[in-house]
Amino acid sequence: MTFPAAEIEPPLRIDAPEVVPDLAARLGTRARQAALEARGVSDEAIHGFDDPLGPREDVDVVIVGAGPGGASAARVLSQAGLDVLMLEDGPARSRFRSAWGNAARYHYQEDYLMVAEGPVPLPVAAGRGVGGGSLVNSAICFRSPRHVLEHWADLLDDARFAPDAMAEVYAEIEARIEVVPVGEAIAGENNLLVERGVRKLGLEGGLLRRNAPDCIGCGICNIGCPTGGKFSVDKNLILDARRLGARVQADCRVQEVLVEGGRAVGVVGRLRHPDTRAEGPTLEVRAKAVVLCAGAIGTPRLLHSCGVADRLGPVGETLHLHPGSGVLGLCDFPVHMWRGATQGAYVHDRANPKVLPHTFNAPPEVFIAQSGAVGAEAKKMLSELNHLCGLGVMVSDDGVGSVRAMKSGRAKIKYTWNPKDLQILKDGMVLSGRVLLAGGAREVFALRHQAGRHTDAESLQAEMDRTELADLTLYASHPMGTSPMGPDPETSVVDRTGRAHRMEGLYMADAGVFPSSLGVNPQLTTMTLSTVLAAGWAEELVG
Ligand SMILES: Cc1cc2nc3c(=O)[nH]c(=O)nc-3n(C[C@H](O)[C@H](O)[C@H](O)COP(=O)(O)OP(=O)(O)OC[C@H]3O[C@@H](n4cnc5c(N)ncnc54)[C@H](O)[C@@H]3O)c2cc1C
Ligand code: SF4
């Protein structure tokens, strides 16, 4: 088929992600060192579908899930001299290819986006593989806000969670995963524009900190890291655990928690081929301690699907998600949103502390697919693509959801919005519009159905005042709080030590144990909390 020339004029040129010229030179630094370091640790400790352990293993500790929570627990428990085995549903190593479909297949739970049912469907993302969410996240590292830790320490009556005590553990983890500020050289214009906007408005924020010391700013963190510049937990915490003797069985989905005489005594997993998904043999692991770190979706999904949840209390009943939306801006100058650190800058407004806008990058094909625009509208959108900037906006939510399991083994997620959260989100979107305009955008528009274009924040505010939940494009990738720590077995699943209130031998240490919504990106707090909890278990299990 041929098209008349007029229909394709002017040419719709989308600038491809920049090939960083000194890539080879940059890869000669820490990423290479990390690779060398990994080479010093026997690969025999990581098993996949083709070289499985089993059919039965007896260990001190079995850990289900190799994300930030599982990695941190494995490191501490191995350091204590315990025999640790991690079981992970996803692949043993990053299966990076420069394609969303590939990431969806290998590195996202349930083949990419899960959907929370509610007044409107809410897409929810969670990572998969040895490294869990840290393989595909944007590497943002925030410590928990002080007031959140103060609340947790009060609620749990435990000084270990107080800000000053946690600060030491944060610092140690930050050093190990190499948290560094985003440098201007790799920030990219979208992040720099937000930094300018923040400064001009006298707000807090600007370039943020990430565990990506060798980042070259290619902007595709959410499908993996092609350079090794992101220090996901497979490169440090799991490496430490392996060096201390921990083993990992990847391609193994745990389907059952074994309970005998009211005590958790092990798990049963089934091997699945990473490419074909063909089922392989089962692996039974018997352990003194069963540690669930399958994530705030995966842990309740497992406990409900194997029928153990009902014995444990409100498993999966207190899901928080940090739900959010976004605002785009159009500039007179090229921005190329997909160049630079994937999410490298943020905005903090003390007047609205429950909202956290940060930049987001997406490759051109995602904009095209998401815009829903057709015909002339699509053509206009494409011609503007190089000039777009944007901020994602997420809320520290009071809204609560639940996670159960469907017969298929997939998670059944529900989420009820708190009206206050919606208002906070809309206020945050107006704040984001203001920042983008101050940073240099000519006009801004919300990620909503039939969005208007606005050259001032007041006009955006008027549109947001008439915006309902169903109008917004929504997204969430921070599931938390589904097996919360708490003093009361009626309202929490684990106690302040991370042990199940109602079952001996069962422990949890993923983002599910947060007693409340966090308000900032959760990976660093997941690692820190898991480290603190596992240190307590080590004393008991070794002694
Ligand atoms: C796209 C995206 C971007 C994000 N960006 C950031 C960011 O920049 N900064 C930040 O702080 N946070 C970010 N997050 C969130 C962060 O990654 C998570 O909060 C963090 O990974 C939670 O750690 P976890 O150990 O609780 O769970 P997960 O990381 O989800 O790990 C759980 C692991 O358990 C495995 N598993 C699940 N069920 C089973 C089973 N039955 N058997 C065996 N294994 C199982 C999963 O495959 C997974 O590997 C992002 C998340 C996503 C998805
Ligand atoms: S932007 Fe993300 S994917 Fe690209 S090099 Fe940096 S850390 Fe890796």
Is 128 contained in some domain? yes
Cβ of 188 less than 6 Å from ligand 2: no
DSSP annotation of 182 reads P
Quote the tokens at residue 120.
């409107």
In this structure, what DSSP letter does residue 234 have? G
Nearest-atom number in ligand 2 for the CA of 210 is 7
Ligand 1 centroid to residue 78 C-alpha, Å? 21
Confidence at residue 4, expressed as pLDDT on a 0 to 100 scale? 32
With vertex at residue 507, the alpha carbon angle to CA 504 and CA 512, rounded to the nearest 5 degrees, is 135
- Count of CA atoms in the C-beta half-sphere (13 A) of 104: 8
Q: What is the CATH number of the domain that holds 247?
A: 3.50.50.60
Q: End-to-end alpha-carbon separation of the chain, Å?
A: 75
Which two tokens mark 100?
A: 């969303």
Ligand 1 closest atom vs CA 252? 43
Does residue 483 form part of some domain? yes
The values of phi and psi at residue 178, to 5°, are: 55, 65
CA pair distance 272, 256, nearest whole angstrom = 15
> Strand, coil or helix: what is 444?
strand
Asked whether residue 13 is domain-assigned, the answer is no
85/75 Cα distance (integer angstroms): 11
- 478 part of the active site: yes
Bridge partners of residue 508, in order along the sequence:
292
Beta carbon of 385 within 6 Å of any ligand 2 atom: no
> Domain for residue 26, yes or no?
no
Helices (H) and strands (E) in the chain, counts: 15, 20
Q: CB neighbours (10 Å) of residue 107?
A: 24
| pLDDT at residue 211, as a whole number | 98
How many structural domains compose the chain?
A: 1
The candidate with the shortest Cα–Cα distance to 361, out of 474, 230, 226, 220, is 220
Which residue has a Cα nearest atom 7 of ligand 2?
Answer: 230
Extended beta strands in 367-461, E state: 388-395, 400-405, 411-416, 443-446
| Cα–Cα distance, 536 to 497 (Å, whole number) | 7
Q: How many CA atoms lie within 13 A of 84 on its CB side?
A: 35
With respect to residue 54, please indicate whether it lies within any of the assigned structural domains. no
Ligand 1 atom closest to 302 (CA):
41
Report the separation in Å between the CA atom of 311 and the middle of ligand 2, taken as the mean of its atom positions.
43
Span from the CA of 112 to the centroid of ligand 2 (angstroms): 20
pLDDT value at residue 240: 96
Pairwise CA distance, residues 149 & 497, whole Å: 15
* Helical segments of 246-322, H only: 295-305
Q: Are 312 and 492 in contact (CB under 8 A)?
A: no
Mutation choice for ligand 1 from 268, 521, 528, 533, CB with most ligand atoms inside 8 A: 521
pLDDT of res. 18: 42
In 107-226, which ranges are E strands?
114-117, 122-124, 180-181, 204-207, 209-210
Tens digits of per-residue pLDDT, 449-507?
889 999 999 999 999 999 999 999 999 999 999 999 999 999 999 999 999 999 999 99
The burial of 542, by beta-carbon neighbours within 10 Å (0-12 exposed, 13-18 middle, 19 or more buried), is given as: exposed
In angstroms, the CA 269 to CA 87 distance is 8
pLDDT at 20: 40
Choosing from 304, 449, 478, 501, the catalytic residue is 478
**Distance of alpha carbon 359 from alpha carbon 255, whole angstroms:** 38
State the residue range of the domain holding 154.
Answer: 61-542
In the predicted model, residues of the chain with pLDDT beneath 70 are 1-40, 42, 44, 363, 365-366, 368-372
Helical (H) or strand (E) element with 147: helix 146-156
Rounded Cα distance, 497 and 157, in Å: 11
Contact criterion met (CB below 8 Å) for 476 and 429: no
